[in-house]
Every structure is written in structure tokens, then in C-alpha cells.
Chains A and B, each alone.
Chain A
Amino acid sequence: EAQVTQNPRYLITVTGKKLTVTCSQNMNHEYMSWYRQDPGLGLRQIYYSMNVEVTDKGDVPEGYKVSRKEKRNFPLILESPSPNQTSLYFCASSYWGSTDTQYFGPGTRLTVL
């Protein structure tokens, strides 16, 4: 089954404790990205990747890191989480970006205390 998976689905952590949210897709997609969803703000892009070893900032990259060492995986790293990063995070993938259907993972709900 074609899908985007994210882990964990739910995470409660404390300020400053490094964490990684994993994202994996099995569709051989070139393009992957991370969004955060906040009430009343819709979804905003954090980082994106056009291909292996190619990543770039989206609209709200501060406090986040990403890497793309393999085509299928695109982890999101919060080196020192803060309460304002409490949000719902989605990973998405597609063959070539905005003209193609983007497939979304189920989401990761992160709470930073």
C-alpha cells in the first residue's frame, strides 16, 4: 500500500530535550516536506527536499533541522524544543512538488512542556 508513515504519532516532551520525528514514504517520491498545523493558521511549510542531500527552508524553519540521506526518509529534528513548537506536524511527499498530488502522513501531535 502506498503510504507516508510518521513516528511517533503522539509525543509529550520537555523544553530543551532533543527529539526526532521520522517520516518514510514507499512511493519513490523525489519531493518531501514537513508542515506544521496550528489552529486558525492552516498548514505552514517548515522544510522541504527536492532529492537526496538537497534540502531547503520553507516558511517557518526556525528551531528545526532536517536531513535527506535516503530517498524514502526525511526526519525532522528539534534540537532544543520550546513550547512554541507545540503543534501538529505533517510529512508529505510527491513526485515533483506543487503540480503533483502530495501525499500526507497521519500527523504527529507534539506537546513541549
Chain B
Amino acid sequence: AQSVTQLDSQVPVFEEAPVELRCNYSSSVSVYLFWYVQYPNQGLQLLLKYLSGSTLVKGINGFEAEFNKSQTSFHLRKPSVHISDTAEYFCAVGGSQGNLIFGKGTKLSVKP
């Protein structure tokens, strides 16, 4: 069975500091990995995805993630966060039914 574990439910950080949001996955089939962001009172939008190829994936808004097969991880990073990055972030793995299997989310709170 496929599953996703997001290791931190909340991450507070100061503006302009670096941040890492951690995600571990379990999958017995081909691995397709995603990070989605949900701003307050909005739907989800794709930040980045890994399907194959380079293990370092760059996304929108300066975010990047690294696929590590041996560690079964797909951690999301940003070198310098802004207040506007305050949101909930979801890691997901592609399921065998064409669905996305989501982690429980990490709330990123950026403080001035």
C-alpha cells in the first residue's frame, strides 16, 4: 500500500530564513511525487512534481525538492521564505487508481 508521512504538522520560521518541510513515502509501484500548497480559504495548487529523471526538482515560488530513493524521502526546501509563503503544504504520491495519496499536511507559518 502507498502512504505518505509528513513529519512536522507545524513549522514556524522567521522571514528570510531557510525552511525544509519533510516528507517520507511508501510505495511498491512506480513513484510519482508531488508537493501542493493550500493558501488560506483556497484550493490546492501544484508547487512541483517528480515523475522521473533528475532527482532535484524546481517548482514555483522558489521552492525545490529532492527525491531520495534510498531514504524514501521527498523533502521540500526554500532558501529564503517570505510572509506570503504562509500556507499549508501537502506532500502526495501518485496512487494506482490515478489518485493522489496525501500526507496530513504541514502548516508553514512565516513570522516577520
Contacts and interface: CB of A to CB of B under 8 A. Distances in A.
Given A42-B90, A43-B90, A98 B100 contact: yes
A104 interface: yes
A91 to B, nearest CB: 9
Contacts of B71: none
Nearest to A57: B97
A50 interface: yes
State the main secondary structure of chain B at its contact with A. loop
A19 B104 CA distance: 28
Contacts of B4: 42
Interface residues of B, number: 22
A31 B94 CA distance: 14
Residue among A33, A45, A59, A105 with most chain B CB within 10 A: A45
Interface residues of A, number: 27
Interface in B90-105: 90, 94-95, 97-100, 102-105
Interface in A76-98: 90, 92, 96-98
A75 interface: no
Interface in A36-59: 40-45, 48, 50, 56, 58-59
Interface of A: 4, 31, 33, 35, 40-45, 48, 50, 56, 58-59, 90, 92, 96-99, 101-102, 104-107
